[in-house]
Amino acid sequence: MATTIVPKPELEASSFDSTLASARGTMGFSEVISLAVDSFRASKARFLLTMLGMVIGSASIILVVTVGLTGKQYALDTISSLGPNKIEMQYSGGSIIGPDNTTTPDYMTREDMQAVVDSVPGIVAYSPMLEDHDRISIGGGVTEDAMLLGVSPQYKDVRGLVVLAGRFFDDQDAGAHAKVAVLNKPLAIKLFGSEQAAVDKNITIRGIPLTIVGVFKESIDTFGQSEINDQTILIPYEVARYFTGTDNLKEIFFKVADPNMVEPGAIAITKLIKSRHRPNSIYRAQTFTDILTTMGKIANDLTVVLVIAAAITLIVSGVGIMNSMLANVQARIREIGIRKALGATRREIRMQFLTEAVFLSLAGGILGTLVGLGIPIMIGLLTPYNIPVGWLAAPIALATSVIVGVIFGTVPANRAARLDPVETLKYE
């Protein structure tokens, strides 16, 4: 007696059509996709909740990369504000032996600086520096220890200093040997109460009056780790010679036109200065190139660690997909039996459920990627902050979504493929 097999109502018409099509031959990829879409439509709530984990995981990967890039850019910008194009030449040792066997330090000179400017290409600013320590007095009463730095007007540009009040001394002041000074912010506040109150006031050093023409600060606080500290007063180099009585230089600052010229410039400057002094004298060039490279590497390594942590969310989501697909297989046992009875192979059954898992995972990955990219883009559009977008993280998140779908969809797909067609048709 012939037996008529009637599909259950939950088997969609289009799904059943594809099932019948498999009896005529191998299913096409479009039919597999159609079955996956039909399965999604039949259980929207369950699949959407399962997909939510992939959305969160994919968005987390992109946002973590964005946070890493933002932190990296902030750190690099902060260090760069000290002078990414700066080359600081320092005298580190060596001496000249005089006729009476006395030794004197083999310091650099202004002639060395001028030789560098004339010979090394790409230098756009430069400044000598004389250093002295003395006590200053205000109105013949209050006294305070201070560090005097004699520099050129170009020092402001080389070091990226910020003028808070008044002005910085200029070439005219330097040429006229004007007795002017620019105070560091902490010293100005300590002596006069505020930056603006310090401007046009007079201080006296060794009986020589100096007029304060401005107050400055470093672009970022170096906490005394640079040549500038809280007690620093900048004066024209020509005036500083009155106090030091010498032209000998321990430090010379140069600024080149492009960051890519820093390292070649440092090598050329060091070689030139060494050639003008005794062989045993030591001169070193200090730049921020190594610091910037190290900071960039640290930020990249930290970003990788954070991405791995975010990827754990995708793994957890993958477990959720596997559980959802196992429940899906259990709910569709009779459908699987009908397909096998009509000639569907194990490979086709496995491909169907694996495609559904990948479809579910990839759909969540796409939504998560859009969310992850959309948040920093919207912040950039609606606020003055420039947030770097981790575009490279988008294909990583999508690829990871597909891999998670394949890995965690394999177990349910294999289980569906191994079901016995006779037993499945008896299943109620």
How high is the pLDDT of residue 21?
Answer: 45
So what's the pLDDT on residue 428? 55
For the chain, the three-class secondary structure string (H helix, E strand, C coil) is: CCCCCCCCCCCCHHHHHHHHHHHCCCCCHHHHHHHHHHHHHHCHHHHHHHHHHHHHHHHHHHHHHHHHHHHHHHHHHHHHCCCCCEEEEEEEECEEECCCCCEEECCECHHHHHHHHHHCCCEEEEEEEEEEEEEEEECCCEEEEEEEEEECCCHHHHHCCEEEEECCCCHHHHHCCCCEEEEEHHHHHHHHCCHHHHCCCEEEECCEEEEEEEEEECCCCCCCCCCCCCCEEEEEHHHHHHHHCCCCECEEEEEECCHHHHHHHHHHHHHHHHHCCCCCCEEEEECCHHHHHHHHHHHHHHHHHHHHHHHHHHHHHHHHHHHHHHHHHHHCHHHHHHHHHCCCCHHHHHHHHHHHHHHHHHHHHHHHHHHHHHHHHHHHHHCCCCCCCCCCHHHHHHHHHHHHHHHHHHHHHHHHHHCCHHHHHHCC
Model pLDDT for residues 130-163, shown as the tens digit of each residue: 998 888 888 767 778 889 999 999 999 888 889 9
Q: How confident is the model at residue 8, as a pLDDT?
A: 43
Mean pLDDT by 10 residues, the chain (428 residues): 43 44 50 69 74 82 82 72 79 69 80 93 92 83 85 90 93 92 93 91 89 90 72 92 84 88 91 90 84 77 78 78 81 79 81 82 87 86 80 81 84 82 65
Q: Model pTM greater than 0.75?
A: no
The predicted structure's pLDDT at residue 318: 81
70-118 pLDDT, tens digit per residue, is 877 777 777 666 666 889 999 988 766 655 556 778 889 999 999 999 9
Q: Residue 20 has what pLDDT?
A: 44
